[in-house]
Structure 1
Amino acid sequence: MTQAPLRDRYSGLRADLGAAAAAVLLVLAAVLVGRHLQDTRRTLFVHWPPLFADWDPHLGPGTPAAVLVAFVVVAYGPSAAARLPWRGLLPAAWGTALAWTGSLALVDGWQRGVAGRLTTRNEYLTVVGRFHDIPAALRDFTHHIVSGSPAPWPAHIAGHPPAATLTFVLLDRAGLRGGGWAAAWCLTVGATACVAVLVAVRALAGEDLARRAAPFLVMAPAAVWAGVSADGYFAAVAAWSVALLALAVTGRSVFWAAGSGLLYGLTCYLSYGLTLFALIGAAVLVAGRQRVRERPVLPVLFLAGVAVVPVAFTLSGFDWWEGYRLLVTRYYQGVGGTRPYGYWVWANLACTVLITGLATAAGLRRAGASATRRTAPRSELRLALVVAAALAALLVADLSGMSKAETERIWLPFATWLLAACAFLPRPRGWLAAQAVLALLLNHLLFTGW
């Protein structure tokens, strides 16, 4: 991408700081109003609104490593991202993201921060024993979603289609039993999400913007919740579905579209809400519409891939639509029916600020400015389009009322794509430092739930 004159590159700094300041005020308002509502009405069901967390200042075995990774990425990340060969940048980004996420998780200790995360009463590993007959469990799955039904599923199992739980059942069957192996799976796979976004951004918007986004995708405050959470794993699957579609519509093999469809179908059976990734996929198709017109078989292959997972689960006896209908009932039986929509519909966005950081607030402002500038390069317009689609998907999820609280974890898949907007930022080291400080403070001052 052609480098803009210095006065153009830095003239928006004041507006960037204004966007960051507005994000800070949103978080502050969510904290103060949330504290008042929780103290007076007890309807938020979170101890440190707007986050599902407890005040717990602490250090841990991961603290030195987390600080070291943060220092290295802030000091050398932008230059390394600019100079490394592309084939070397991708594994470097994955390894660094894994080190960052893993070290943050270890701040809470091995058991509390890693091995025990997926073994608590609402988590997936608690029901592995109930899947000794997988076909029978799938046929019977919807009979245990609603509270009051015989042996109702714990919250996370009831709240997701069975592919989420089945992942951990298959790990157990493969001999990788227990919370440590489940955490390793989520950390290892989840860290590849940043690689998937880099692949997609390079395909759609060029290598320069991808390289500029790389340090921000690695140094994400969202890592506080990705380690250890199944939602980090979901984020990676969804991200790779978009990345493969981006490869398919930008001149690579059209057969990537079938792989993209397969992963998108799996995404929909990992989390009901991630069907909204169709908006991001649509943005990719718009960005590569010329290729789509030239190769009409591309959408056919995509749809063929999409059908595989739904057909397999439907033939196994699980009805996705029935599952979602029953989930809505379960949601309003619990705290979801009590938590006030009027607070969470905007406080959820404060949670998003905390997982994406102030740099993303400024990056989104820059992306919007680029999208409205007539002279903006096509590469910037394509990246802005994909980021806008991710933001739209997040806002639809927000307005639905099915995501009241805990969105710092639930929205990790969408947040991953918002981070790509940081490619528009000049002076990356200052913004990277802000990202790192935010993540370290959150992880060391709070004990985050789920």
Structure 2
Amino acid sequence: MSGSDERADAGGTTSPPRSPADSEAATAEDGDRARSRAGLIGVIVTVLLIAASVIIPAATGWNVRAGHFPPLHAIWDPGIGPGTPAAILLAVLTVIYAPRAAGWSWRRLLWVVYGWGVAWMLALGLIDGWYGIGGILDEKTEYLRTARIVVADVPAFLRGFIERIPIDAEDNWAVHVAGHPPGATLFFVGLVAIGLGGAIAAGIVITLIAGTTAIAVLQTTRLLGSEQLARRAAPFLTVGPAAIWMCVSADAMFAAVAAWATFALAVAATTRRTGAMIAGSLGAGLLYGYCVMMSYGLPLLAVLALTVLWLARSWRPIPWVAVAGLAVVGVFAVFGFAWWEAFPVLRERYWAGIASDRPGAYWTWADLAAVAVSAGPWVGAGIGAAVVDGIRPTAQPRGRRAVALLALAGVAMCLLATASQMSRAEVERIWLPFVPWMLVGTALLPVRWQRAGLIVQLASALVVLHLVFTRW
């Protein structure tokens, strides 16, 4: 008699064999439980990290040299402003209507993401009045004042750029001009040349460009992961605390260029057509090359680029990307700015300034708290879920692992940046190019988490902007 017959004769019952559908459902349920646990842990760790970064300097009197509300470069300034009603209304409507986006066409979704994102940025900016849209861009530390001067002779600007980086140089560059390659300033030179060199006009241009970042990230996620997961990530890429800094910061423009470069690379890596592969690769190379000419920290985008190529299982774009990227760097060198000569000079200026007074014992970890404020606490939940799907490649569809690795690439870029010790403070703005890639991890969380996550993200943005003046 077989074992099952013996159990039946003894009055026991036998369980029918599981069907493949039952097994898949059980696996999915187990995966959701694991992501929920990891997501909860991620949120708790993120909140504790932010709390520690705020409480420790306040409780100990530790001067970490970043305004009056570290880890943000901000001052305590509670109040409301003209944009407050619009921001609250948009937040409420987002919570109500975001779940309906699942039924929209892809094109309609992208249009709404762009329009809603721009509206959210402008509403948050207007909480500080028109100054919040672009006033900071007219400060002496920013690019616009220099752009208005050098627009008359750009070649001379490039030829003499390196010699005016040092802090003790005669007529040295303003802080942000000196702290970035000249490609950043040239963007504003272009705005001045076409009559958009006013602070408000430049702020609106940056906002309109920044609004496209979410579109590029969603398109990349769709190509490498899945449309369903991209749809889930859409609300978190559209609204959240990062918009506080995107409306007024050149780094938001850097983020958009980086996102479109990555999308072009994803197109090149996933297409079967040689012409499309070459065109996408050249486009990616030109945009990545210009990223390098805008920020000394953006070569870290190589981590994201390699992740995209690995996920697509295609290395064909590399030679074309390299040629186009090096061509951009080479053109700047021909006109007088050699990146490899400028970086050591910039490094000396960096350590000759306030960075040397900012304690590494605090900023090495508080940088992560600052970017968590910018990305929003829910980024921790997404990263937790990404860790689960990243280490369980056989337990979920391939699209899930792709999205997980994109999110973890965003985390890796932040970790490398803080390890370099060249990013002490102000990373809520400086690391904007890395933030949306971390946020795609929110797509991996169970659907029931979405509304709670949106409430957390929206509330944190409103609280931060109504309690402190961010200076950006």
TM-score where L is the length of structure 1: 0.94
Report which stretch shifted further, 17-26 or 142-151: 17-26
**What are the within-5 Å matches in structure 2 for residues 225-244 of structure 1?**
225-244=245-264
One-letter amino acid of the counterpart of residue 451, structure 2? R
Pairwise CA distance, 1:78: 2.6
Number of matched pairs: 440
- Of the candidates 56, 66, 70, which is equivalent to residue 77 of structure 2? 56
**What are the within-5 Å matches in structure 2 for residues 237-256 of structure 1?**
237-251=257-271, 253-254=276-277, 255-256=279-280
1:447 is aligned to 469
1:333 is aligned to 352
Runs (4 or more) in structure 1 with deviation over 4 Å come to 2-8
One-letter amino acid of the counterpart of residue 128, structure 1? A
1:305 is aligned to 324
Q: Distance in 2 between matches of 1:9 and 1:43?
A: 40
Pairwise CA distance, 1:118: 0.4
One-letter amino acid of the counterpart of residue 435, structure 1? Q
**What are the within-5 Å matches in structure 2 for residues 41-80 of structure 1?**
42-80=63-101
Q: Distance in 2 between matches of 1:11 and 1:75?
A: 28
Q: Distance in 2 between matches of 1:78 and 1:256?
A: 33
- Of the candidates 150, 153, 160, which is equivalent to residue 173 of structure 2? 153
Residues 242-262 of structure 1 deviation map (CA, whole Å, 9 limit, x = unaligned): 111111111262021110111
Contact 2:389 2:396 in 1 (8 A): yes
- Of the candidates 301, 312, 334, which is equivalent to residue 315 of structure 1? 334
Do residues 128 (structure 1) and 134 (structure 2) align?
A: no
Residues 370-417 of structure 1 deviation map (CA, whole Å, 9 limit, x = unaligned): 122232211111111222122111101001000001111111111111
Q: Distance in 2 between matches of 1:147 and 1:36?
A: 34
Q: Where in structure 2 are there 5+ consecutive unaligned residues?
A: 1-23
- Of the candidates 425, 431, 438, which is equivalent to residue 453 of structure 2? 431
Structure 1 residues 446, 152: CA separation in 2 closer, same or farther (over 3 Å shift)? same
Do residues 97 (structure 1) and 120 (structure 2) align?
A: no
> SS where residue 350 of structure 1 aligns?
helix
Contact 1:130 1:137 in 2 (8 A): no
Question: What is the RMSD computed on CA atoms of the aligned residues?
Answer: 1.6
Residues 157-200 of structure 1 deviation map (CA, whole Å, 9 limit, x = unaligned): 00000010111111111111210111011101011111110010
Pairwise CA distance, 1:10: 4.9
> SS where residue 247 of structure 1 aligns?
helix
Report which stretch shifted further, 414-423 or 245-254: 245-254
Pairwise CA distance, 1:356: 1.4
> SS where residue 377 of structure 2 aligns?
helix
2:212 is aligned to 192
Report which stretch shifted further, 98-107 or 14-23: 14-23
Contact 2:296 2:343 in 1 (8 A): yes
2:307 is aligned to 283
Contact 2:404 2:444 in 1 (8 A): no
Contact 1:45 1:335 in 2 (8 A): no
2:431 is aligned to 411
Do residues 22 (structure 1) and 42 (structure 2) align?
A: no
Q: Percent identity?
A: 42
Structure 1 residues 208, 144: CA separation in 2 closer, same or farther (over 3 Å shift)? same
> SS where residue 337 of structure 2 aligns?
coil
- Of the candidates 252, 255, 260, which is equivalent to residue 284 of structure 2? 260
Residues 189-213 of structure 1 deviation map (CA, whole Å, 9 limit, x = unaligned): 0111111100100000011111111
- Of the candidates 384, 387, 392, which is equivalent to residue 365 of structure 1? 384
One-letter amino acid of the counterpart of residue 276, structure 1? L
Do residues 352 (structure 1) and 371 (structure 2) align?
A: yes
Structure 1 residues 269, 202: CA separation in 2 closer, same or farther (over 3 Å shift)? same
Pairwise CA distance, 1:299: 2.1
Q: Where in structure 1 are there 5+ consecutive unaligned residues?
A: none
One-letter amino acid of the counterpart of residue 98, structure 1? V
Pairwise CA distance, 1:130: 3.0
Pairwise CA distance, 1:14: 4.3
TM-score where L is the length of structure 2: 0.90
Residues 315-359 of structure 1 deviation map (CA, whole Å, 9 limit, x = unaligned): 111111122111111111111011100110001111121111222
Contact 1:34 1:44 in 2 (8 A): no
1:201 is aligned to 221
> SS where residue 270 of structure 1 aligns?
coil
Pairwise CA distance, 1:241: 0.6
One-letter amino acid of the counterpart of residue 341, structure 1? G
1:401 is aligned to 421
- Of the candidates 183, 192, 217, which is equivalent to residue 203 of structure 2? 183
Report which stretch shifted further, 11-20 or 170-179: 11-20
Pairwise CA distance, 1:45: 3.4
Q: Distance in 2 between matches of 1:129 and 1:148?
A: 23
1:381 is aligned to 401
Report which stretch shifted further, 45-54 or 265-274: 45-54
> SS where residue 172 of structure 2 aligns?
coil
Structure 1 residues 332, 83: CA separation in 2 closer, same or farther (over 3 Å shift)? same
One-letter amino acid of the counterpart of residue 355, structure 2? G
Pairwise CA distance, 1:307: 2.2
Pairwise CA distance, 1:5: 4.8
Contact 1:34 1:50 in 2 (8 A): no
One-letter amino acid of the counterpart of residue 267, structure 1? C
Do residues 343 (structure 1) and 366 (structure 2) align?
A: no
Q: Distance in 2 between matches of 1:228 and 1:77?
A: 26
One-letter amino acid of the counterpart of residue 348, structure 1? D
Residues 279-298 of structure 1 deviation map (CA, whole Å, 9 limit, x = unaligned): 10000010112x43xxx3x3
